[in-house]
Structure 1
């Protein structure tokens, strides 16, 4: 019905930006993210000087996992010299980094996703570090009220929505990487078990097939890296040509070299340990958010830390104003927990679980 009415509005005046923006929102709620992005981009072209609609077009393109188009769109409002991505990082454009990270996560590009989420963490670490300059200033100028406000800010800064969202994105990325490693280990164990019952000729054939599969995977990764490298080189050449055309008297600041452009080093970190690091921060600063305890349960279960699982469930059920969807998630995890604790053999752990198990609500 909403689409029917908005089409009538557009028929009356197809040049009004608000109508196209509303149509894009309706399409988004209908689940047609690609069409929604196309409509929002069409709206952006009606007013090329409007930063807001440019940002909305970028956001909708990221929702549709069209990252390259989104990068090109948001670059229209960044500084032209240097790398637009570096400029966005310098400007601490966290909404873009989070949405881009989520898109990369959906596309299973975990290294690139982690790179975005870690960028947000870096911004918050910088916020805290920058406050040290404020300490001496406040004492010298006797602006004690502002000083107290700043201290209170530092006490809860990691509970801010941008950090919480980025932390959950990083946790989800590391969970996916942990699952990938587990699947790989199971597959190798399965192959090893199958090889034990094979003849010499069959083993040789299986080994060749495995080598072929690994070679194909390596080639695919190499092609992806090569394409990304070529794309970056083209962008750099275009920017260099633009800079030469401008003939600036003073050269811009040199950009730091990125040693990990694809986030491979971040993806190689111990997955569950890094995920738990983010969980620990959320438990301290965002303990009123039920998602914190759901994430704590999921990571603790993977680590076989059943007391931590129990603690997460008990804390989550004490929270008020929990949505029906969150309650459903907690109920399913409670069922999983009660099933998994049957594996516990440690008498001390088992005793604590049996004592507290009755406190778990259905």
Structure 2
């Protein structure tokens, strides 16, 4: 490197020698290094010159390139956003009124549209909605399961035209009146029906005093067996004797059987429904009926059980016992079957009486 007489280097030379020399420390503290290992101490005036070939910034304080700004900033000359713009509570002012469907609307534009819409809506409501002051429907109104409330009560009926909707209280009054009237009529009919058709319990014996087994009254008395009187005792203990308890012969006014079991039967002139039977054993002390049943039949062959009992029918009893029968079926034949007894045979029945249900 050449140096002139004043100690300066050639202008075209890459280095300059200063009188007295320059140390590395002085150079670093005075000049910016090309390798970027020191920093500027003040602003650098580019004097209208560019800094070119700069990388896009990566840190917040890096210089921004034109490319970076064009890519990330909104251009004043017009631009298209690729994401949402958050105004953070700030206003957008000086907008034009919109000319396209997606243009931003100004307050002035919206106010004018609201007025126009209000006028249109008022006209639409007047045409399509039901007026509170009174109106006429032109089609069906589906309440969708909801109630109509606040209806007037058209009472007395002189103010009710028949085509008006009735309030719940009105309907309740009318329905209650009809229901009460129906109940009254029904009670009257039921009472009359019950009086007319309800079976009545007769407390008078149905079977009259019989004079023979086959009676002129239409009744027929039969039994499983009959005890024959002895040679010294006239008559015998026929079945009809159980239906002739007023016989002056006392104990002979009975049916008796030589066995310890047996049955006594009465055939009625017609089928009857009974509700009670009266029974009394033959009036001989010690000859008691201990187990028995009572049944009914309409052919004299097949009998339906009506009562089974172990109530003792005592020979020493002074009056018959009464037993209620639960049946609604009318039978023509009624039979008492003795299943067990005490005594040495010749037991029997002094009273067998039926009590019927009559209409």
Settle same-fold status: TM greater than 0.5.
no
Q: TM-score, normalised by structure 1?
A: 0.16
Q: Which has the larger radius of gyration?
A: 2
Bigger strand fraction? 2
